[in-house]
Amino acid sequence: MAAPSPHKPRKRPKKIGAGNGNENGSDVSSVVSSTAPSKRSSSSGSRPTYPLAAFVWLGRNASQWEILPLILMAVGLFRWAAGLWGYSGFQNPPMHGDYEAQRHWMEITTQLPISQWYFHDLEYWGLDYPPLTAYHSWVLGKIGGFINPSWFALFSSRGSEDPILKVFMRATVIVSEYLVYIPAAVIFVRRLSKLQGVNTWTASIALVAILMQPGTILIDHVHFQYNTVMLGLVLATMSSVLAGRYMWSCVFFVLALGFKQMALYYSPAIFAYLLGVCIFPRINIPRFLGIAVVTLATFTILLLPILLGALYDVRRGIDARPDLFGYFAPLPIFSQQSFRINHKAWYYPLIQQSAQIIHRVFPFARGLFEDKVANFWCALNVVIKLRKYPSELLQKASLLATLVAITPPSLAIFLRPRKELLPLALSTTAWAFFLFSFQVHEKSVLLPLMPMTVLLAGKQGLSKNVRAWVGFANLLGVWTMFPLLERVDLRIPYFTLSLLWAYLLGLPPTSFSVYRQTEKSWAAFATTAIHTIFYLLMGLWHVGESFLLPPRDKPDLWVVINVGIGAAGFGLCYLWCLWSLVVDTGISEISKVDKKKAKKSQ
């Protein structure tokens, strides 16, 4: 008699149409009462409660593999259409802008020896991102060079505004995003929704909301950058954690750090979580050693091409700094100790390259901030002029404030290392870095916004409370970037994409339905009041900025007001994320139980 087959048939997923969309706490549809009897399914008595749910409504009974291609085509169309606008630095010599910086890096990585990448003409968009960005630029530059070598010719291609080059550059952003960020987002949403019992239709709505996030489209596809590559690698890190693949999460996070150093905003939460899973519920030494070895190995592999390339260039007689004509120069860091190192030793190129990369990636000499950014220091600078204080003092103050702000979320995720809470922890630490750390840029707000936005894919993610706070953070974040976008004439894509996203999710200023709570509470009332005040201030600011000229002695008045309002709003977002994390970890409940026990013992 034949043995029974060990194969177990897969369970068929439940049809989404069987519910009204509220069964997992997501407010995507409401039930319409009907006195007439009907033989149709119960979903026929439901209706979507905001436009995005209505657009995906027809696909509520479809397979995810049927609706996913439609989603990817739709979001891709919006990205390409947004790219038809101008870009940072268009017709703005001599430095142009971020577009020219990215093009220039393709130029130097394809036209110069690898040992000269981080030394070449630092005054004109010198390479100041980690090695993976350099490798990415090299690949794209090689591909572009096959199409038209003049696009990346050394020196002569500077400031090129060839329209075909613009098409190529826009295409590289989309292709990079569809190779990294979008697959990572799809897999993350699928794993998180499966973990928390969110149905496929609700997960599809969340996926569209995440991929239509206005900040990433405006900065990467209009203003021009490749932030979504780094953000995609961080999403892959969280996705690997959800799958219990901790070694792969280390690989992806090191790659994120290797692409953009701003991924350090997430590092306290990642470190605390991985350390937590090695200690709780029991100490797991093999897991700890595996994480450590994989992390170090990935960093080594990431740096190896540049370090080996530097040794190879020395062997070929190529100097990393031809501008010195063979003379010795102190290292950019630990300059006073440079004379102790033999600059003719075989290992000197390794030290030289490592020191230069660190110096370029972490520019502490630039000061606390360069431009007006909606964080604590820029807002404080309006009242107390910080530039009169020594740079070393400001660095210490920034470090101390950042440590104070990142400690509570890191401690929470360390003590309660639950994988579904990782997005909240990442968002909280990223808000802390954005508000208090050194050398913050306007575009860095994308870092706390990404993990906060993916909360939409979890249980209760599309509920009114979560949707209100996620929407508030995103719209406030885009609003604080308006001065940056306005400088390069990007008003129309700013208003179009931000208002479209607000309309799709039923958010102000297009709708205030998200604040109509069925259950009255002080928290709901406070949220409604605070958000309404901020939305009102944002609207009045736009009116004033458009029609009222600032005083001659205060030309930056509107930008300063933008900074103050934005910093206050982002502080509230940090507090909301921190409180949500503490509540979800159950730490606050434990403290209440302990207090009750203490009272009883008395």
Task: Tell me the three-class secondary structure of 58-86, residue by residue.
Answer: HHCCCCHHHHHHHHHHHHHHHHHHHCCCC
Q: What single string gives the DSSP state of each residue in 279-346?
A: HSSS--HHHHHHHHHHHHHHHHHHHHHHHHHHHHHHHTT--S-GGGTT-----SSSGGGGGGS-TTST
CA diameter of the chain: 95
Give dist(CA 318, CA 326) in Å, integer: 10
Residue 181: CB atoms within 10 Å:
26
Read off the pLDDT of residues 531-558 as tens digits, 9 standing for 90 and up: 999 999 999 999 999 999 999 889 899 9
Tokens representing 144 are 């572009």
Average pLDDT over residues 57-70: 83
The tens digit of pLDDT for each residue in 5-41 reads: 444 444 444 444 434 455 455 677 653 333 333 333 3
**What is the predicted pLDDT for the residue at 65?**
80
Least confident of 18-22, 398-402, 557-561: 18-22
**Nearest 10 degrees: Cα torsion 515, 586, 408, 460:** -30
pLDDT at 327: 80
Per the rule left: phi > 0, alpha: psi between -120 and 50, beta: everything else, 439 is left
* pLDDT recorded at residue 596: 54
The answer to whether 177 and 211 are in contact (CB under 8 A) is no
Q: What Rg value do the Cα atoms of the chain yield, rounded?
A: 26
From 195, 295, 283, select the one nearest 239 (Cα to Cα). Answer: 195
Both tokens of 510, joined, read: 């297009």
* Each residue's pLDDT tens digit, 156-189: 999 999 999 999 999 999 999 999 999 999 999 9
Strand partners, 46: 31
Beta bridge partners of 47: 30
pLDDT at 21: 52
Mean pLDDT of all residues in the chain?
A: 89
The predicted structure's pLDDT at residue 25 = 57
Beta-carbon-side half-sphere exposure of residue 406 (alpha carbons within 13 Å)? 26
Q: At residue 378, does pLDDT exceed 90?
A: yes
Alpha-carbon gap, residue 466 to 329, rounded angstroms: 55
pTM: 0.91
pLDDT at 512 over 90: yes
CA dihedral 366, 368, 370, 371 (to 10 degrees): 170
The pLDDT score that the predictor gives to residue 19 is 44
- Quick one: which of 17, 24, 60, 72 has its CA closest to 466? 24
Can you tell me the distance from the alpha carbon of 189 to that of 239, in angstroms, rounded to the nearest whole number?
8
Three-state secondary-structure class, residue 29: strand
Query: Would you say the C-alpha torsion 312, 314, 318, 323 has a positive or negative sign?
Result: positive
Tokens of 196: 């928390």
Burial 196-219 (b: 16+ CB within 10 A, else e): bebbbbbbbbbbbbbbbbbbbbbb
Residue 433 zone, left/alpha/beta (φ > 0; ψ -120 to 50; rest):
alpha
Rounded to 5 degrees, φ, ψ at 48 are: -65, 145
**Tokens at residue 464, please?**
């009114």
DSSP tag of 516:
-
Residues in the chain: 602
Residue type at position 82: A
Asked whether the CA dihedral 215, 218, 221, 227 is positive or negative, the reply is negative
